[in-house]
A and B are shown apart, each in its own frame.
Chain A
């Protein structure tokens, strides 16, 4: 299971970006995962709490957007939405296609706040 490795790498990336933006807290993390990325969304969600505990993103919402598998035919030019193990042109049937989307493994965006965690905020009031 490499999803934990991916989660830890993601966490490091998120913390670095949060620091660059002087954020005190990460509220939301949006990922894009295609079925051909080799990373499974449910496994990633499962591993996430292990990686985020004690970090700026401890309370962040993790949103995983699925990306469709789309190919463009290099022979007839048609664009088809296909299943991950049959990347054939739906129009002419040729196997010589180019993947347009479906292998994404991206940190798409973050939502950051200046404030520290809720607990710290309550102490200040």
Chain B
């Protein structure tokens, strides 16, 4: 879904009981943040196309009497939409998602902070320590902002991973490294250095021995 510009009609919707003004084409997440209502996100980044993968930003919406659960980073605002950013169900979704992610990255500061807020138990599910939570920030930043595709997804299902492409990474990454700071678990950085060590030791561009 594309963010449309220029904005057209003005829309009023209700978020957590507050009337919030928005413009057509905005997402619920954008409308909420303009009204300083915070919704947790992991895979969202202002500079990137909305992605909808972590599902942490789910909210309850009600339109024409029908309730449903949607990701606010993608869901478009609509006239008279009623949004609840917290409810028992929303909190449960967030708690279980955090517990699932903590099985991969139990020490991520961002996850630990959210775990505290939602009462998530980092030991509820069997550990699967890959450290990557596959939010795709590195992959999408490299593709959308840098246009380099030095890091991408491989495989699918439970085997999905990120992987640096040695042929591109050896030329591009050393001078950039911008994705490292975006990563909620520091895995992007580790993955890059591992790739360097295994695939092109001592051959990265800008290497000064």
Q: Do A and B bind each other?
A: no
> Which residues of A are at the interface with B, using a C-beta cutoff of 8 A?
none
